[in-house]
Copies of this chain bind each other. A is one copy, B any other.
Amino acid sequence: MKSCVLHDDGREQVAGFHMAGDLLGLDAIGSGNHTCDTLALEDTEVREIPFASLEQLSREMPSLQHQLHRIMSREIVRDHGVMLLLGSMSAGERLAAFLLNLSQRFAARGYSPSEFRLRMTREEMGSYLGLKLETVSRTLSSFQERGLIEVRQKQVRIVDFSGLKALLEQKR
């Protein structure tokens, strides 16, 4: 699924992509309404948890309470990572970070870390990474030319993990 924040003026940006098991909607607790729209990119099963019950339960179960706080905290840390990405990385670095992140998350769910199908369009990736779809496409092509990955439309295979990681660590 993808979550989009939308600006007053109509501009919108993908704030995150979600996979099986992810908890989402935490943004609504503060004000009562959601600041994101979330859209499924493929058939998806969703479980709704009323936040009031979660709060009540977590009062009785300290471990649940703590777990909830961990999840919210992680979301904040994740967002900081994205801010770093958007604020100080080049197109290539952004794509490399994105692919490695996806790879990790697929692996955590028991799928192959090296071969997967992108569920989102180039435009959605670009929106998330602060790039235009053409730049996303070009950068992926260049990765392929350099032997880092193989792309064919939405199908991706990571060939050279350390090469991708090197893209992120070289600067300074």
Tier of interface size on chain A: 35 or more
Q: Which of A83, A86, A169: most chain B Cβ within 10 A? A: A83
A26 and B78 CA atoms in complex are apart in Å by 12
- Chain B residues with CB under 8 A of A170: 9
Collect the chain B residues with CB atoms within 8 Å of residue A168's CB: 8-9
Whether B169 pairs with A9 at a CB distance below 8 angstroms is yes
Residues of B close to A88: CB separation below 8 A: 7, 11, 13, 127, 130
Is the pair B76, A171 in contact by a Cβ cutoff of 8 Å? no
- Interface residues of A, dominant DSSP: helix
Contact among B10, B11, B59, B79 for A76, CB-based, below 8 A: B79
Partner among B71, B75, B80 whose Cβ is within 8 Å of the Cβ of A35? B80
Give 1 or 0 for each of A15-42: 1 = CB within 8 Å of chain B CB. 1000000000011111100011000000
> Is A62 in the interface zone, CB < 8 Å from B?
yes
Partner of A72, one of B7, B31, B72, B169: B72
Report the separation of the CA atoms of residues A71 and B73 in the bound assembly, to the nearest whole angstrom: 11
Minimal beta-carbon separation of A58 from chain B (angstroms)? 8
The answer to the question of A102 belonging to the interface, with a C-beta cut-off of 8 Å to chain B, is no
Instruction: Collect the chain B residues with CB atoms within 8 Å of residue A127's CB.
Output: 87-88
Q: Which residues of B contact A87 (CB under 8 A)?
A: 13, 86, 127-130
CB distance from A78 to the nearest CB of B (A): 9
Interface status of A117 (Cβ within 8 A of chain B) = no
Question: Does A107 have its Cβ within 8 Å of any Cβ on chain B?
Answer: no
* Bound: A84/B127 CA distance, A: 9
CB distance from A62 to the nearest CB of B (A): 7
**Shortest Cβ-Cβ A-B pairs, 4 listed:** A87-B130, A29-B73, A86-B86, A79-B79
